[in-house]
Amino acid sequence: MEKLKYLPVLMYHNVLPRSRAKVWNNFCVELSEFEKQMDYLVKAGYTALNLLDLEKIVKGRKDAPEKPVIIALDDAFAETIKNVVPLLAARKLKCIFPVVTGYLGKESGWEKENPSYPVVSEAQIRENLGPLVSFESHSDRHLHLDKISIHEVETELKTSRSILEKLTGEKVRGIFYPYGSYTENVKRIAAANGYIFGFAVNSSKKTVLEDLLEIRRVYIKPSDSLSAFKRKIAPWYLWFRGRREAAKQREESRMNKVGVFLDRDGTLNLEKDYLADPAGLELYPGAAKAVKELNRLKLPVFVVTNQSGIRRGKFTLKVLTAIHEKLIRLLKTETGARIEAFYFCPHLPEDKCSCRKPKLGMVKKAVLDSGVDPKLSYFVGDKSADIELGKNAGGKTVLVLTGYGKKEKESMKVTPDHIAANLLEAVEWIKKDIGLHEKP
């Protein structure tokens, strides 16, 4: 196990002759240079692992080789597979192709700024699959997993794994995060969906063994000489890089646990007594901009709302779902903003449920779903119940003076940490409180 602490996980994309590249950039490596690098691995005594090997070593069912290495070629480009598989087979080196399953047999089209290339087809996977060649997940659509909702992340990971396992008949063990992007929530969802390993470009961990869902990778670029390649995979360099990146990402890791809990009616959208029709939904001016700013700061936004209108017979769950779907559309149309998840309580006060604000049922569900820390989070609303909710959760609170805010301000049972005119001003205060506010 000690030998895995500084396991080099090589990251390539396109490996091809320079003349075959549409644009020569940092996602390309000259085939002849790749061959020299592989020759060095063989000469230096490295043993290439696949993720079955890695699982067995981690679980104590197999000894680690003296010099382990993982060779992964992201995006599984069809031409790259044709170029490198024979070369690696001749050297008895195992390799992994992380696949974007939504693009099987198609042109890669997930990056407008980079040219597209044909992605591996189902037939090509079946043709190459074997002891030396394995295929793992690179998600379904190659999205930034840290910029989409937890439900979208789950769909991406679950879909990709299901497609690959049906296609190959093999267990999918690893997710190679697109763009190297991940959060604690992404890692948690990956584990919940059966992934054992997660691979990132950077990591907050000092060594591989600290977190198997946050394994650091070694990005091989076209400008890397053979000397630079040797340096990048050396244990001393991986040791140094681990400590440097761990210090840098420690604060980012803390920020991943901060969430923002928003009331709905009177905070995001105009207060209307028991809103029972999606046609009546109207966002407050600046609300979409406020949510978009929280998205930009990578702070997950949750809506927690009491909706006793269901229990009172004023509208149905189907109508409530339609209202939330329209809210999602309005946010997206105005600014491209998104809500991480909606949580609602359908009960009456006399039902004495555990979810009606200011009780913590909805917050606890969000914490389980996302991994945010309520004590580090912010709670925004126009009623006393919203402020009490935040206080009960141990977080910070903002009363907005929209909706019932002005009236509630006069009879508050608890004192909010801040009072803002509207949601946009509330977000500005949150930024200042966290320390993210831009200096003039």
Confirm whether 263 is a catalytic residue. Answer: yes
For residue 259, report the phi and psi dihedrals to the nearest 5 degrees.
-125, 165
Show the CA angle centred on residue 101, arms to residues 20 and 8, nearest 5°. Answer: 70
- C-alpha count within 13 angstroms, C-beta hemisphere, residue 53: 21
Confirm whether 265 is a catalytic residue. Answer: yes
Return d(Cα 276, Cα 313) in angstroms, integer. Answer: 10
Q: Do 217 and 12 form a contact (C-beta atoms < 8 A)? A: no
Return d(Cα 174, Cα 191) in angstroms, integer. Answer: 10
Q: Do 105 and 83 form a contact (C-beta atoms < 8 A)? A: no
Peptide bond into 68 cis (omega under 30): no
Tell me which of 53, 74, 75, 265 is the catalytic residue: 265
Return d(Cα 37, Cα 261) in angstroms, integer. Answer: 50
Adjacency order of strands within the sheet including 301-306 = 341-345, 301-306, 260-262, 378-381, 396-400, 418-420
Phi-psi region of 259 (alpha: psi -120 to 50; beta: other; left: phi over 0): beta
Return d(Cα 149, Cα 319) in angstroms, integer. Answer: 22
Return d(Cα 42, Cα 33) in angstroms, integer. Answer: 15
For residue 16, report the phi and psi dihedrals to the nearest 5 degrees.
-165, 165
Tell me which of 263, 369, 382, 386 is the catalytic residue: 263
Query: Cα dist. 408→76, 282, 287, 426 in Å?
Result: 58, 22, 20, 17
Return d(Cα 118, Cα 211) in angstroms, integer. Answer: 33
Q: Which are the catalytic amino acids?
A: 263, 265
